[in-house]
Amino acid sequence: MTTQKITDATFEQEVLKSAEPVVVDFWAEWCGPCRMIAPALEEIAAEMKGKIKVVKLNIDENPAVASKLGIRSIPTLILFKDGKAAAQKVGAAPKGELSRWIAAAV
């Protein structure tokens, strides 16, 4: 698995203090569109390894960060660069669209 699971407790270390850009996938088990984009995110994480990191934060198990960032719909993807949110995408999209969004934001 090339994506990594993070928690409220590891968010700061894994995302905000990361040397490379990080795409955070805010998701939940019950979310169909979240499960739909998961394979695409795995492929993107493998293809862009060394350029970006892709992590997943389950909002049911870890509500603090999602609440702090005002996440209201899932899936929500936020790309963090240098500890700050650089781009955000809400909703499911095909792999090509997700790759282009990430490439444009990095």
Amino acid at 90: V
The pTM of this model reads: 0.96
Given the residues 34, 41, 71, 74, select the one marked as catalytic.
34
Residue 12 CB neighbours (<10 A): 13
Q: Which of 23, 17, 60 is closest to 42 using CA atoms? A: 23
Residue 48: the pLDDT is: 94
Catalytic site residue 25?
Answer: no
Catalytic site residue 52?
Answer: no
Given the residues 6, 15, 23, 31, select the one marked as catalytic.
31
Rounded distance between C-alpha atoms, residue 33 and residue 56, angstroms: 14
Rounded distance between C-alpha atoms, residue 106 and residue 99, angstroms: 11
Tens place of pLDDT per residue across the chain (106 aa): 689 999 999 999 999 999 999 999 999 999 999 999 999 999 999 999 999 999 999 999 999 999 999 999 999 999 999 999 999 999 999 999 999 999 999 8
26 backbone dihedrals φ, ψ, rounded to 5°: -85, 120
